Structure 1
Amino acid sequence: MRSARLKPSDGTYYHIMNRIAGEKSFYPFGNQEKQMFISMMNKYLKLYKIDLLSYCIMSNHYHLVLFSPGKISPEEIKTRWQDFYGHSKGHFHPEPLWESPKTIEQWRLRLSDVSDFMKVLQQSFTAWYNRTHNRRGHFWADRFKSVILEGGNSLLRCIKYVELNPLRAGILDENKNYIYSSYGIYKSTKKHPLETNLIKHLPAALGSKSKDTIRRFYQTIQTIIFNASTKEFSIRQSIWTHSKIIGSKKFISKLIKKYSQLSPDIKSSSDICFI
C-alpha cells in the first residue's frame, strides 16, 4: 500500500519531480512537448495558490520547486475561480455556492494542495500527449515524488540543483542556454519568468532585502557553469530526489513533532537529510 504523502498544513517548500514511463533511453519530451508542459503548468498556477520558484523540463523527466502557503482567503478563492473559469452563465463549470462555508473550505483545501495541482497538471498533459500522438495508456512512471525543503540554505541549494540539470546532462555550458528551464529563460531574455515569486522568497533565504537578489543568486549558478567541475552540483545527488525532508536538524525535528502523522512515514535515516 502506498504511504501517505507528507503535506504540512502551513507554508511549505517542495521539490517535485517525476519521470516518464519506459526505458531510460526513451525521450518523449521534444521541444513541443516541453513547451506544452510549461504552458499547462503556467495555466493551472493561475488557479492554484502555489508559488513556482524554479523549473526544468528535461527529455524524460521534470523538476519543480514550489511553495504552498497553506492559507488563502475566501475572497481570493472566489477571484481565482472566476478568473480561471470565467464569469459567463451556463459555463461548463457552474459557479460554486460561495455563501456556503463548506464550499469555501473545500476550495481552500484544493487550491492550496500541491498534490491536487500536480494531479491536474499531469493528467491534463497526459490527455494532450496521448491525443496528439495517437496513443493510449499511462504516461508517467509513477506518482510524482515530493521532498519537503526548509527555507534558506536547503531551498537555495535545491534551486541550484534543479537549474543545473542541463549541465549534468551535458547540454549546457557558458555558451549555451537551455530555454526549458527558468534559469535558461532568464539568461536568454534577461527577465526572469518567476521574478515576482523570487523577490518574495529569495531575499529571506539569502538574508538580504536587496532587489538585486535574483541577479546575485544566478551569478552563483553561472559561476558553477563556468567551473563545471564543481562536484556539489555538477553530479547527480540522490538526496534531492530520494529524501522526504531536507533541512536542519531543528527544522526536521520540529516538523515531525508538530505533525505527528509524519513520523510513521519516516522509515529510515535515508528519508531525511540534514544540511
Structure 2
Amino acid sequence: MPKARKTIVSVQDTPFYHCVSRCVRRAFLCGIDRYTGVNYEHRRKWVESRLLELAEVFAIDVCAYAVMTNHLHVVLRIDAELVKAWSGEEVITQWHKLFSGSLLSQRFVKGDKLNQWEKKLLEIQVVEYRHRLSDISWFMRALNEPVARMANKEDGCKGRFWEGRFKSQALLDEAAILSCMAYVDLNPIRAQIAKTPEQSDFTSIKRRIKAALNNEQPEELLPFVGNERLNMPNGLTFSVEDYLVLVEETGCCIREDKCGSIKQSLHILERLNLPTKNWLKLCNEFGKLFKGAAGNLQSLSTYCERLKRCRRQGAANAKRWFETKNAIG
C-alpha cells in the first residue's frame, strides 16, 4: 500500500530526494510513437522549461534531471533554511508566481489596508504557503499538472496522463546522492538514445557540460562548490570537473560498444571510499536496487528509526553496494 509523503520525507535525515513520474495508457511524454508515427519530441521542452521555472520559485533545488520517452527523473534538494528566511511578503510573492493565491493575498499585494482579523487570517495562509514552497509533493504537482493538461489537449483526450503518484526515495548520504545523480544523468545512454553525455538532450548533465565549456555552472541547477570549508556556499560538496569526468568515464563503461575504465585515483570515488565495481552497479541499476530510501546501512537504520519503521527496506543492498573499500578489505 502506498505510504503518505510525510512518512517518506524526513529533512532531519536528508534534504535530497529522487523522484520519478511515469505516463499511463501507453502515453508518450516525448519521443516518436512507433505505432502512429507521431513525434512528441517537443514535449521535452515543456517539461524542462517548467522544471527550471519551478526551481526559481520553490525553496527546492534541482540537482539532476532526465526527460525520457515515457517518464521523468529528477533529483531534488529541499532548502529548509531558505524558506525559513523568507519574509511573509516574500512568501506571498513567490507563491503568486505560480498560483493566484487568495483574495486576501491579492489584496495584500495590491497594498489594500487589512483589518486585524484579515491580517491574522493572512498569517495563517502565509504559514501554509511557506510549507508548500518547500514541499516536494507540491513541487511535483506544479510540474506534472500543467504538462498533463497540455498533453491531453494535444492528444484530444481526457483522464490521467501520469500515474496516480510519483515515486519518491530519500538519498541518505553522499554516495547515494552522487550515484543517483549519475544514474539519472546516464539514463539516455543506458536507453541508447544518446551516445555521450553531451549529446543527451534535455538532461542536467548536458546543461552542466555546456556551462563548463565557458568555465561556468548553470544557474538553474544546484552548483558543485568543491570541498567542505568555512563560510561554504550552498551546493554539492564536490568539484564539478571531477563529477563531469566521473560521469563520462562511467558512461564509457556502461556502453557495450565503447571501452572505458574509471581511474582508481579519481577524487570522488576516493572520498566516497567506494570500490569501482560498486559504483558501476549503483549507476547502472540504482532504480532496481533501491525502491525506497537509499544509503549506507547506518544511515538507512537511522532514517527508519526516526520514521518509526519496523522494516528496513533495501537493507541487504545498502550493506552490499554502499560498503566501503576498508570494510571489504
TM-score, normalising length from structure 1?
0.80
Q: Does the CA contact (< 8 Å) of 2:17 and 2:171 recur in 1? A: yes
What residue is the counterpart of 2:169 in the other structure? Answer: 147
Structure 1 residue 14: Cα displacement: 0.3
What residue is the counterpart of 2:20 in the other structure? Answer: 17
The AA in structure 1 aligned to 2:245 is Q
- C-alpha distance in 1 between matches for 2:91 and 2:123: 17
Q: Does the CA contact (< 8 Å) of 2:185 and 2:203 recur in 1? A: yes
Structure 1 residue 269: Cα displacement: 4.5
CA RMSD in angstroms comes to 3.2
SS of structure 2 residue aligned to 1:123: helix
Structure 1 residue 13: Cα displacement: 0.6
| Structure having the larger proportion of residues in strand | 1
The equivalences for 1:41-80 within 5 A come to 41-71=51-81, 72-73=83-84, 75-76=86-87, 78-80=89-91
Q: Deviations over 1:226-249 (max 9, x none)?
A: 333575367444346x52111122
What residue is the counterpart of 2:28 in the other structure? Answer: 27
What residue is the counterpart of 1:81 in the other structure? Answer: 92
Q: Does the CA contact (< 8 Å) of 2:176 and 2:295 recur in 1? A: yes
Count residues with an aligned counterpart: 261
Matched, 1:215 2:241: yes
Distance 1:55 1:4, change over 3 A: same
Structure 1 residue 153: Cα displacement: 1.1
Q: Deviations over 1:129-169 (max 9, x none)?
A: 21233221110133100110023111011100000001101
The AA in structure 1 aligned to 2:306 is K
Structure with greater Cα Rg = 2
Q: 2:250 aligns with which of 213, 224, 227?
A: 224
- C-alpha distance in 1 between matches for 2:65 and 2:220: 13
SS of structure 2 residue aligned to 1:138: coil
- C-alpha distance in 1 between matches for 2:149 and 2:220: 30
The equivalences for 1:81-100 within 5 A come to 81-83=92-94, 85=96, 94=103, 96=105, 100=122
Distance 1:77 1:258, change over 3 A: farther
Distance 1:120 1:174, change over 3 A: closer
Q: Does the CA contact (< 8 Å) of 1:245 and 1:273 recur in 2? A: no
- C-alpha distance in 2 between matches for 1:123 and 1:271: 36
Overall identity of the aligned pairs, in %: 19
Matched, 1:4 2:42: no
What residue is the counterpart of 1:197 in the other structure? Answer: 222
- C-alpha distance in 1 between matches for 2:72 and 2:56: 20
- C-alpha distance in 2 between matches for 1:154 and 1:212: 14
What residue is the counterpart of 1:256 in the other structure? Answer: 304
Gaps of 5+ in 2: 31-39, 106-117, 262-279, 323-329
Structure 1 residue 52: Cα displacement: 0.6
Distance 1:271 1:14, change over 3 A: farther
Q: Deviations over 1:43-91 (max 9, x none)?
A: 22222110110000011111000011334226355325315626xxxx7
- C-alpha distance in 1 between matches for 2:167 and 2:237: 32
The equivalences for 1:238-249 within 5 A come to 238-239=287-288, 242-249=290-297
- C-alpha distance in 1 between matches for 2:20 and 2:54: 17
The AA in structure 2 aligned to 1:81 is I
The AA in structure 2 aligned to 1:254 is T
Q: Does the CA contact (< 8 Å) of 1:47 and 1:80 recur in 2? A: no
